[in-house]
Every structure is written in C-alpha cells, then in structure tokens.
Amino acid sequence: MNVETIYKDTGRSLSILFAALKAADPRLQKAKAQPFEHQVVCRARHYSFPEGEDLGGAAQAHCTNCGETNFFGHPEVCLQRKFRRVARHEGAKHIMGQALASTPGNRVRLEPLGHQTSRRNDIQVFSLLGSQATGLANAEYDLTVVSLANKEARATKLPNLDTDPSRLVNKYLDSVADHKVRHRPRSNLPFHPIVLSLGGMMNGSTTKVFASWKRVMTRGTYNLMLKRLSLCLLQARVRSFEL
C-alpha cells in the first residue's frame, strides 16, 4: 500500500469518526466547531459544550463517576475513568518514528537505552550520511501528550491579569517542556522535548521540531504523519467520553 492510499484511508477514517460523533449525540448538531490555533499540528476540530455537559449524557453539576465538580474536559482527567495515556503516547510515538524512519539516510530507534541509566527517551535519530546530506542532525526526542483539563493547566496564570487563551496554553505547554528538559535522561545527543495537547496544540519548541522535520520529509510523508497524529489524538479524546 503506497503513501497516497494510506493518506486517503486516514482522511476517510477521520470523516467516519466525526460522523459517528454527530450521530452519537444530537447536541453535536448545534455545537460550534472551533478550529485549533495557527501553531497546531492537527487539522481536526474540537467541540465546545455548555458547562457541565459531556458527550455521555445530560448536564450534571458533578461527575457521576467520581463525584467531583463537572467541567469541560473533566472526562479526560477523571480518576474513575479508564486512562488511555499509554495508548495515546505509544500511538503518537510510533507515528512520528515511522515518518522519520522513511527519510533516506537516517536511522531511527524507539526508546533506546540511556547513557548509564535505565531511563529512555522516546525517539533517537542518527544521520548516517551526515546532517548536511540528510538535513536532519543526530538528536533524541521525548514526547508528552497532556490534557488541558488537568489541575496544572487550569492553575496556570499570566501576569497583569492577562487571560488570553493561546498565551495561557503556551505557558503551560512550555512549563511541561522545561520540566522534560530538566529531568531528561543523560545522553550525548542534543535533546528536544515534544509537547502536544490532546487537542493538538504545541509549544514553540515543538513547532520548531516539526518545521525541521517538514524540511527533510517528502510532502506526502509529512502530511500523512499529521493526518495520523490528528486521528490518534482525536480517538484518545473520544474514548474519554462515555457514549
């Protein structure tokens, strides 16, 4: 199966998933589809609901699973619902690893053993022909996919009472990336954190990483990676809800 066929199949899967979401809950018919911010990896859409509503039922002041106060995004972080952190992380990691491995002249390893430690970064890239030939330097990448509904994200504040949503999200994602840099496994290679929200938003350093990949990948490979990441993150969000 060639790249074009996979690309079309992935796009078809996204369309089917959106159709299933709309069929699952009539409120989706009147929900406002909001595009992600400009720096985002995914072209998917997310849906906004009134306070206390989710895809699973009528508006509730408190979660019927854990009893905590309900809010938009609570199903993604509810302690009584099945977490899918590992599944979404592994899915995104393999999608990016496959795209990088398809670039000629590079060797990609997933979760290589760290230097004198058992901790591992997610992706290691070696340029077999040199960075000038392949356009991609030797490096290690570590991925984190976070929900913007978690306590740390909701507690993020900006100075001077600034409440701009994009700047709030960027500040939180930057803090996650900084934490990964400070606690990274020891390695002789340059390290780059990759931080994505479940909705597909990314911080500034992750945007630069994707821009560097775009320069060395073929257009079809890069677009396919974005499509597959979009589907992976969307499925992770949908599975948090009880349909």
In terms of DSSP H, where are the helices of the chain? Answer: 3-24, 74-77, 85-101, 131-134, 151-154, 165-182, 204-216, 219-238
**77 in a domain, yes or no?**
no
Write down the pLDDT at residue 150. Answer: 87
Q: In what order do the strands lie in the sheet with 106-110?
A: 106-110, 123-127, 139-146, 191-197
CA distance 179 to 106: 28
Pair 203, 170: CB distance under 8 Å: yes
Number of domains, the chain? 1
Structural domain contains residue 72 = no
Who contacts 180 (Cβ-Cβ below 8 Å, separation ≥6)? 142, 144, 193, 195
Residue count of the chain, please give it.
243
Question: Residue 107 falls within a domain, yes or no?
Answer: yes
Q: What is the pLDDT of residue 58?
A: 38
Per-residue pLDDT, 40: 37
Strand-pair partners of 142: 193
Q: Which residues form the domain of 209?
A: 3-49+84-238
**Per the domain annotation, does 65 fall within a domain?**
no
Task: Assess contact for 120 and 187: CB atoms under 8 A.
Answer: no
Report yes or no on 208 lying in a domain: yes
CB of 241 within 8 A of CB of 75? Answer: yes
pLDDT at 193: 94
Q: What are phi and psi of 165, to 5 degrees?
A: -60, -45
CA angle 179, 172, 46 (to 5 degrees): 130
List the Cα angle 154/202/11 in 5-degree steps: 115
Residue 79 lies in a domain: no
Paired tokens of 15:
């369309």
Is the residue at 102 inside a domain? yes
As averages over each run of 10 residues, the pLDDT of the chain (243 residues) reads 48 60 53 37 37 44 76 76 81 94 89 68 84 76 90 86 84 93 85 91 92 91 92 81 54
pLDDT of 2-43, one tens digit each? 444 544 555 566 566 556 655 655 545 544 433 333 333 433
Domain membership of residue 187 (yes or no) is yes
**Pick from 238, 169, 196: nearest CA to 41:** 196
What are the Cα distances from residue 70, in Å, to 53, 60, 63, 97, 165? 8, 7, 5, 37, 20
pTM exceeds 0.75, yes or no: no
Per-residue confidence (pLDDT) for residue 136, from 0 to 100 = 80
Q: Assess contact for 67 and 46: CB atoms under 8 A.
A: no
